[in-house]
Chains A and B, each alone.
Chain A
Amino acid sequence: MTASRWQAAWTVAVFLFILAPIASIVVFSFNADRFPSLPWGGFSLTWYEAILTDDTVRAGFVRSLKVSAIVSVLATFIGFATAYTDYRFNFTGKMPYLALAALPPTVPVLILGLAMLSFFSMVNLVGTLRAIIIGHVVICAPFAMALIRMRLADMSPDIEPAAWNLGASRWRTIWSVTIPWCLPSIFAALAITAAVSFDEFMIAWFVSGLEETLPVRILALLQGQVSPRINAIGSIVFFISVTLAGLAQLLATRRDRQS
Chain B
Amino acid sequence: MATPKRSRRLIDGFAAFWAAPALIWQTAFFLAPLLVLISMSFWVVRNYRLTPDFVLKNWERMFTRDYFWAAYLHTFELALLVAVLASVIAFPASHYLAFKASPAARRWAMFLLITPFFTSYLVRAYSWKIILSTEGVLNVVFGWVGLGPFEMLNNTFGACVGYLTLCMPLVILIQLFALSNVNRDLIGAAHNLGCGPLKTTFTVTIPAARVGLILAATFAFILSFGDYVSPAYLGGGKPPTMSILIVDQTKSGNHWPRASVVAVTMVVTLITVLFTALFAAYGKPGGKK
Contacts and interface: CB of A to CB of B under 8 A. Distances in A.
A111 B89 contact: no
A21 interface: yes
A226 B109 CA distance: 32
Given A118-B256, A192-B118, A199-B118, A14 B26 contact: no
Contacts of B188: none
B22 A37 contact: no
A137 B29 contact: yes
Given A15-B109, A115-B37, A119-B33, A245 B118 contact: yes
Interface stretch (B58-66, B133-141, B202-210, B278-286): B133-141
A14 B137 CA distance: 18
A84 interface: yes
Interface in A151-172: 157-158, 160-161, 164, 170-171
Interface stretch (A22-30, A44-52, A54-62): A22-30
- The SS class assigned to the B binding surface is helix
Interface centre among A15, A22, A114, A196 (most CB of B within 10 A): A114
B247 interface: yes
B123 A25 contact: yes
B26 A138 contact: yes
B267 A111 contact: yes
A24 B96 contact: no
B119 A195 contact: yes
Contact of B116 (A22, A82, A89, A206): A22
Interface string B47-58: 000100000000
B36 interface: yes
Interface residues of B, number: 84
B25 A14 contact: no
B146 to A, nearest CB: 16
A127 interface: no
A118 B260 contact: yes
A21 B26 contact: no
B276 interface: no
Interface string A182-210: 00000000001001100101100010000
Given A17-B168, A100-B27, A110 B111 contact: no
A199 B130 contact: no
A141 B19 contact: no
Interface of B: 2, 4, 14-15, 17-23, 25-27, 29-34, 36-37, 40, 50, 89-90, 92-93, 95-97, 100-101, 109, 111-116, 118-131, 133, 135-137, 140-141, 164-165, 168-169, 172, 197, 222-223, 225-228, 233, 243, 246-247, 250, 256, 259-260, 263, 266-267, 270
24 contacts: A3-B197, A8-B100, A10-B92, A11-B92, A14-B172, A18-B113, A21-B123, A21-B128, A81-B22, A85-B18, A89-B15, A104-B26, A107-B34, A107-B267, A110-B228, A114-B37, A118-B33, A118-B40, A119-B29, A141-B26, A157-B2, A215-B122, A222-B122, A231-B127
Minimum-distance CB pairs A-B, first 7:
A108-B226, A21-B127, A119-B33, A234-B123, A115-B33, A115-B37, A241-B119
Interface of A: 3-4, 7-8, 10-11, 14-15, 17-22, 24-25, 28, 35-39, 77-78, 81-82, 84-85, 88-89, 91, 97, 100-101, 103-104, 106-112, 114-122, 134-135, 137-138, 141, 145, 157-158, 160-161, 164, 170-171, 192, 195-196, 199, 201-202, 206, 215, 218-219, 222, 226, 230-231, 234, 237-238, 241-242, 244-246, 248-249
